Chain A
Amino acid sequence: MSVIVKEVGRALGRADERLPVASGLKKNLRKVFPDHWSFMLGEIALYSFLILLLTGVYLTIFFKPSMTDVVYHGSYQPLVGVPMTEAYSSALGISFDVRGGLLIRQIHHWAALFFMAAMMVHMFRIFFTGAFRKPREFNWIIGGSMILIGLLEGFAGYSLPDDLLSGVGVRIVAGIVESIPIVGTYLLFFIFGGQYPGTDFIPRLYTFHVLLVPGILLASVGLHLVLVFYHKHTQYPGPGRTNENVVGFPLFPVYTAKAGGFFFVVFGVTVLISALVTINPIWAYGPYVPDQVTAGSQPDWYIGFVDGALRAFPSWESQFWGHTWSWNIFLPCVVLPGLMVTALLAYPFIESWVTGDTGEHHLLDRPRNAATRTSLGAMAIAFYGVLVINGANDIIAAAFNLSINQLTWFTRIGIFIIPPLVFLSTHRFCMGLQRRDRELLLHGRESGQILRLPHGEFIEIHTPISDDQKAVILSKRDIAPLAIPAATDQNGVATPGLAGKKIRAKLSGFFFQDNVARPSAAEIEAAHHHAHEVHDHEITELHEAGKQAPSQLTD
């Protein structure tokens, strides 16, 4: 051990003479990170991204991004002698003639699905705990943008092999581009180098997929991590945890081992899945030919919501001034995703404007305590979920013997009904939890022990909750909604921007509606006092435990 320390010390000394690494290490080696399983979700995305970079580089060695016609003569018998593009042929070569090529291809694709899913789950955690609040709004924007960029990157990768499934996907994208008013047709011709499909698309998409977008993603990931490091990680409320400190384990060695180890776990799990479960069997789809198609033509799941919206949208199209407006494509595929992303990225600013909260937040909210935010999040997920499910309506119809037409109508109506219902039920659920927290603080936990008092009354003994639990429950911050401004001030001067201020105050009232106030120290004291008075003389032996609680709350 001491040898290691001496050697590292010597190497560090030599390095430090050239670059002051020691001052950076001094500050950061023992940097504290709080421990919680939900803080590892972003790491899944990060590690999937690293796996994608590693396996992607390997795939570039063998993949030929060319739409030149070739005739297949590889070892996959059902396609021998079939004409196809060089891109598809080389993707088959990777799968059947490069040793380990199929494994790497499958790891790359599974990791892409993991990447997108993990980013989303990570975003849910950030959203529901309010971790996007000041000073982390910018990092929320970087993260949200990465989901959008990852979506484009994933679609590009899905399209490169030029198999029958992905070719139909590209055909759909071409149709979407054509729907864009004014510039659509020109965009189509610029993207495809002429009419669809042409011979330029795959090579162009390849550069986009392996250079441009990964570069942007890599820079975003770097910035995202730098900001996490700089702001220090948020933490959940609990004993000893405040808005001014961070409690946890040091980066070195505990987090190096845990986070480093988790990289290998994510990698290992991805490889094992790739060994056992097929993903994107391009050989089974066959080469892309513009007049062939397979039933159940689907995009990868993360594009599913766009496809679902496209399937459900009514057949609106109009003609103005001799031009065609394809509302049935432009609205669900361009406008709707644009609005969804804008709402997502703008949310931190909207919330802080509505609540008037401009403070720094490093202690996370419990989702129940920000009931409106939690309900909005659940509503957004429900909206997204309905679209995703509709994107698979043909598979669902086939698997469960349902009618596609009825499923489509279910979506057309459900998209307006289900999200509000989810909002209301989530809000009620949060309120129930808030009331329970208040009860726990005031009266403790129901012990299940029933006592019969001398005068015949039955009571249940309530045991006070632990300090840990109290610390968590008492982390709730009750913020008063903004007051509705008067039309004029005391001097009779009209309030400037009154309408805007009124809207803001109304929204603020909506945001904090039905909030169950956290009991004050005095209320808790009174509740415990009352409880003691009732059975003071009957159960003297039990109230030793009960006495501790109020004394804790007086400081």
Chain B
Amino acid sequence: MTSTSVRRHKATGLVVLLAGLVTTGIGYAAVTSTAEASVPQASQGQLDQGHQIFLEGCATCHGLAAQGSSDGPSLIGVGAAAVDFQVSTGRMPLAAPDNQAPQKAVVYTADQISALAAYVASLGPGPSIPSASDVSTTDAELAEGGVLFRTNCAQCHNFAGRGGALSDGKYAPSMMNATPTQMYEAMLTGPQNMPVFNDKTMPPAQKQAIIKYIKNLQQAQAPGGLALGSYGPVTEGVFIWTAGIGALLAAAVWIGAKVR
């Protein structure tokens, strides 16, 4: 919430590079390295299983060597995180091409998904699946997460994470059923039209704060009562014109009705 002051000094190229490392934060440098562009560790058996699944379920659109086609982008270098997000939310494999891939029932088991992810990760370096400690929110600041959420997420996903419309039938989905891992992966990889929030522009600690805030939103806090979908004044207006005015009109009809 406050800007950190930046050290300025004249320096040679090497010192500039070092200074950059300092300011981006040594504290989370270790975490960063695990979540981004790490070399996958997977058994040959897993890679073979992943390759098999890829050929059956993905190659039609993404190409036999995952090089991409007119129907689907190249998967070389997208990393395990992107695969895990797309497949574990049911977005992939795609049922039919549309404005964007909708969430639907998950096709593969957890084992199959990790095998597939390992296979795609082996094709080129990309963000790996965040670990349990990456998505842990125990040390995260809820209020800071709120500020970050309103700065970076609310514009598309709405103030309560219920989603919203984008151009030409595209949309930012509701976050109500997303798991912390999926939230992290989405930020890391920028699925579909979502921008990328990599670990440099949004360090893991900030991602964890945002995840903590979204988890809080998922708990359906509704101090004032039924939240009407948390869509803002539109549903409130619909409510007053239907239930509200309806109830009072019914009362007025009762008052005006003749008694036998």
Interface residues of A (CB under 8 A from B): 35-41, 44, 77-83, 95-96, 102, 106, 110, 113-114, 117-118, 121, 164-165, 258, 261-262, 265-266, 269, 273-281, 283-286, 289, 291-301, 304, 392, 394-395, 397-399, 401-406
Q: Apart from A44-B245, A78-B216, what 5 extra A-B contacts exist at CB < 8 Å?
A: A38-B252, A40-B255, A266-B248, A297-B232, A404-B169
Q: Which of B121-171 contact A (CB under 8 A)?
A: 141-144, 146-147, 150-151, 154-160, 163-169, 171
Q: Give bound CA distance, A273 to B224, whole Å.
A: 10
Q: List the B side residues contacting A398 at CB < 8 Å.
A: 163-165, 171, 231
Q: Which residue from B1, B150, B167, B228 sits with its C-beta under 8 Å from A164?
A: B150
| Cross-chain contact B150 with A117 (CB below 8 angstroms) | no
Given contacts A113-B240, A117-B241, A262-B255, contact A281 B224 (CB under 8 A): yes
Give the tally of cross-chain contacts (CB within 8 A): 201
B113 part of interface (Cβ distance < 8 Å): no
Q: Which of B42-90 contact A (CB under 8 A)?
A: none
16 contacts between A and B (CB under 8 A): A37-B253, A44-B248, A113-B237, A262-B252, A276-B225, A286-B147, A286-B154, A292-B154, A295-B157, A295-B164, A297-B232, A304-B234, A392-B237, A395-B165, A398-B231, A401-B171
Q: Which residue from A82, A114, A277 sits with its C-beta under 8 Å from B224?
A: A277
| Cross-chain contact B240 with A117 (CB below 8 angstroms) | yes
| Cross-chain contact B213 with A401 (CB below 8 angstroms) | no
Q: List the A side residues contacting B142 at CB < 8 Å.
A: 77-78
| Cross-chain contact A283 with B234 (CB below 8 angstroms) | no
Q: List the A side residues contacting B13 at CB < 8 Å.
A: none
| Cross-chain contact A277 with B1 (CB below 8 angstroms) | no
| Cross-chain contact B257 with A37 (CB below 8 angstroms) | yes
Q: Give bound CA distance, A279 to B223, whole Å.
A: 10
B205 part of interface (Cβ distance < 8 Å): no
| Cross-chain contact B232 with A296 (CB below 8 angstroms) | yes
| Cross-chain contact B233 with A102 (CB below 8 angstroms) | no
| Cross-chain contact B236 with A300 (CB below 8 angstroms) | yes
Q: Which residue from A39, A113, A289, A401 sits with its C-beta under 8 Å from B244?
A: A113
Q: List the B side residues contacting A117 at CB < 8 Å.
A: 240-241, 244-245
Q: Give bound CA distance, A114 to B246, whole Å.
A: 11
Chain B contact-residue range equals 35 or more
| Cross-chain contact B147 with A277 (CB below 8 angstroms) | no
B28 part of interface (Cβ distance < 8 Å): no
| Cross-chain contact A278 with B160 (CB below 8 angstroms) | no
How far in angstroms is the closest Cβ of chain B from A469?
16
Measured CB to CB, the nearest residue on chain A to B152 is: A292
Measured CB to CB, the nearest residue on chain A to B170 is: A403
B196 part of interface (Cβ distance < 8 Å): no
| Cross-chain contact B223 with A283 (CB below 8 angstroms) | yes
Measured CB to CB, the nearest residue on chain B to A47 is: B248
Q: List the B side residues contacting A269 at CB < 8 Å.
A: 244, 247-248, 251
How far in angstroms is the closest Cβ of chain A from B191?
17
B32 part of interface (Cβ distance < 8 Å): no
Q: Give bound CA distance, A121 to B241, whole Å.
A: 10
Measured CB to CB, the nearest residue on chain A to B145 is: A78
Q: List the B side residues contacting A118 at CB < 8 Å.
A: 245, 248
Interface-centre pick from A96, A114, A258, A281 (highest chain B CB count, 10 A): A281
Q: Give bound CA distance, A286 to B74, whole Å.
A: 40
How far in angstroms is the closest Cβ of chain B from A404?
5
| Cross-chain contact B169 with A276 (CB below 8 angstroms) | no
Q: Give bound CA distance, A164 to B1, whole Å.
A: 17
| Cross-chain contact B256 with A298 (CB below 8 angstroms) | no
Q: Which of B205-253 contact A (CB under 8 A)?
A: 213, 216, 222-228, 230-241, 243-245, 247-249, 251-253
| Cross-chain contact B164 with A165 (CB below 8 angstroms) | no
Q: List the A side residues contacting B163 at CB < 8 Å.
A: 295, 398
| Cross-chain contact A82 with B159 (CB below 8 angstroms) | no
- Top 4 closest pairs, chain A to chain B, by CB: A301-B237, A295-B164, A37-B256, A278-B224
| Cross-chain contact B226 with A265 (CB below 8 angstroms) | no
Q: Give bound CA distance, A269 to B241, whole Å.
A: 14
| Cross-chain contact A404 with B167 (CB below 8 angstroms) | yes
Given contacts A35-B256, A286-B159, A295-B172, contact A82 B232 (CB under 8 A): no
Q: Which residue from B144, B159, B167, B251 sits with its C-beta under 8 Å from A294?
A: B159
Q: Give bound CA distance, A274 to B226, whole Å.
A: 10
Q: Which residue from B159, B164, B167, B223 sits with its C-beta under 8 Å from A405?
A: B167
